[in-house]
A and B are shown apart, each in its own frame.
Chain A
């Protein structure tokens, strides 16, 4: 392996490759921060430019976009409650309240520190265990995926800071939206009112609408005047490193959670964030402060979702299985250079995986530095006139939803989702459960049905496998415990903790 890393360093030590690394980070940082663009979109549109590049440089650039984009999605989540990717929706849970409390700088700094720490730890884990972990990826069948998605949905109900009823309502609305389109197993049309919805409601425009546009309408309500809000001054980048200390444990734990869940193809950053956030909340001495601006929430979510990124590279590099949309684009990029990513990659083209490892090791500190300097710039945005922010955010959001698939229908989806999100917010129903249900819903349904086809309609299939049985038990516990508590409190005729507003 040391030989391999040396090979990687050697491959990286050309001006082209270093330039590609830097360019990739910069591009990823920009596309990630714009609502409507994600790292996978950025990678896809830059793919043609990599055709003429050296394969190592091309891969290094795309991987840099991948990790930097995943990080940058937290910036709009914190500043305007408009997560650039679903995983960042969980960051927004505490990040945006922190910004409203005048702690935008702290939230941004912690998010980049957590991201960098998580991704770096995860890269180290990836380097030592890439080949061995392939087996985790393969051991996940329909039963395990079903259990995992159920756990995710159960965690959604528990992560809500206020009422559980309202979180469940958000969840079912999301699940209803996710059934629109062709059913993933039998291809039946369900609730298809428009041809464009055959493949379901476009996800990113829905995310933009529910979070960003509904937040804009809230901003319209709040004030026409410059907020003049006080900004806590930021320490220098070097000093801000010390902000890690109180969160050392959270970061360590979240990195491991993020890496392990990231390895499972298709589960990805969102579930990683969810699990890590819930664990942090459970272990916290003040769980009630989560959701109203607890910095630990930002750290837990960001660390885990960025740790999932390098984790997703394990099945890609060792088996050619894409764990995420971005990973699928990396496969396309390799194939255009005549390299077939698959179980033979390490044997045939060892320079590719090792160059990726080394570029992550060098690129991540670079990304952190850019992020820390960037935080000082971004925090100034909170000083701007809110009317200006509202206008710019809306214009970019509408443009972003159109460019998602070059279709006006997506603009409609964003606008309707924005209005729906605004009404639900007024009813104190947070958009996060809706978005998480959109991510997890079809995973749950298709794997349940697939599992039943595999087993010949035997439900015992789902509990007869140890991994899925354990996950299902956790999901059950997560869902039943708070429900039981609140039922007891109802019958004791106390103020129901279930419905505090």
Chain B
């Protein structure tokens, strides 16, 4: 799966578009370091699991094995990245287009999870669908309203009425 779709960023009426670019080797090295740190923590946690009886394979054996495999694969990732840098292979770049929109999209979904219990399902979904739709690029107000109403009606009909799902009602 390629991370960028070539050609799109050159559409004439979107000249001003900016995007984040990161050298793939740098990204790989960062990822490898995070993976090594995370795996070390993971292994240390595993060592604290209680052991029972004399069995060879205990509750901690499998996690420790996975942790070691993770560290090895992270080292491989880092090794290949350094090797690519040293051999000066063609420069590869990870591009994040429309970073602000992606960021707002992420924030919207996080906010959804945070307020779901407080506001209840219907209010949260109504706000979410409209805001997310706007962020995603639906600019016509009537379309946003229609979409939201349609989705809520669908939920009411299929999930609440037919399937009897207890949707969160909110704190008030």
Task: Write the residues of chain A forming the contact surface with B, with a CB cutoff of 8 angstroms.
Answer: 45, 97, 165-166, 168-169, 172-173, 175-176, 179, 183, 185-186, 188, 190-191, 213, 216-217, 219-225, 385-388, 390-392, 394-396, 398-399, 402-403, 406, 408, 411-412, 415, 418-419, 422, 425-428, 430, 445, 448-449, 452-453, 457, 495-496, 498-499, 501
Contact = CB atoms under 8 A, between A and B. Distances in A.
Contacts of B143: 388
Given A408-B168, A411-B116, A426-B94, 18 more contacts: A165-B76, A173-B70, A176-B67, A176-B70, A179-B66, A217-B102, A385-B137, A387-B136, A388-B133, A388-B147, A394-B109, A395-B128, A395-B151, A398-B112, A408-B116, A426-B27, A445-B62, A496-B80
A410 B110 CA distance: 13
A190 B163 contact: no
Given A222-B97, A391-B147, A411-B112, A190 B46 contact: yes
B169 interface: no
A437 B67 CA distance: 14
Contacts of B121: 399, 402
Given A176-B66, A188-B59, A452-B57, A415 B132 contact: no
A415 B113 contact: yes
B136 A425 contact: no
A175 B59 CA distance: 14
B3 A169 contact: no
A222 B63 contact: no
Contacts of B145: none
20 contacts: A165-B76, A166-B77, A172-B66, A172-B70, A176-B67, A179-B62, A186-B59, A190-B46, A191-B42, A191-B45, A220-B102, A385-B138, A387-B136, A395-B128, A408-B113, A408-B117, A425-B1, A426-B96, A427-B94, A501-B92
B98 interface: yes
Contacts of A418: 109
B106 A419 contact: yes
A123 to B, nearest CB: 29
A411 B113 contact: yes
Q: Sorted from nearest, which 6 A-B pairs have the closest CB atoms?
A: A224-B137, A387-B137, A188-B59, A387-B136, A391-B133, A172-B70
Contacts, number: 175
B50 to A, nearest CB: 6
Given A222-B8, A408-B168, A452 B56 contact: yes
B59 A190 contact: yes
Given A221-B101, A398-B128, A169 B77 contact: yes
Nearest to B54: A457
Most chain B CB inside 10 Å of its own CB: which residue of A217, A221, A387, A422: A221
Nearest to B143: A388
B92 A221 contact: no
Contacts of A422: 102, 106
B116 to A, nearest CB: 6
Contacts of B18: none
Most chain B CB inside 10 Å of its own CB: which residue of A172, A403, A411, A452: A172
Nearest to A459: B56
A390 B137 CA distance: 10
Contacts of A426: 3, 27, 94, 96
B151 A392 contact: yes
Nearest to A418: B109
A153 to B, nearest CB: 11
Most chain B CB inside 10 Å of its own CB: which residue of A45, A419, A457, A499: A499
A179 B96 CA distance: 32
Given A399-B155, A402-B167, A411-B112, A176 B42 contact: yes
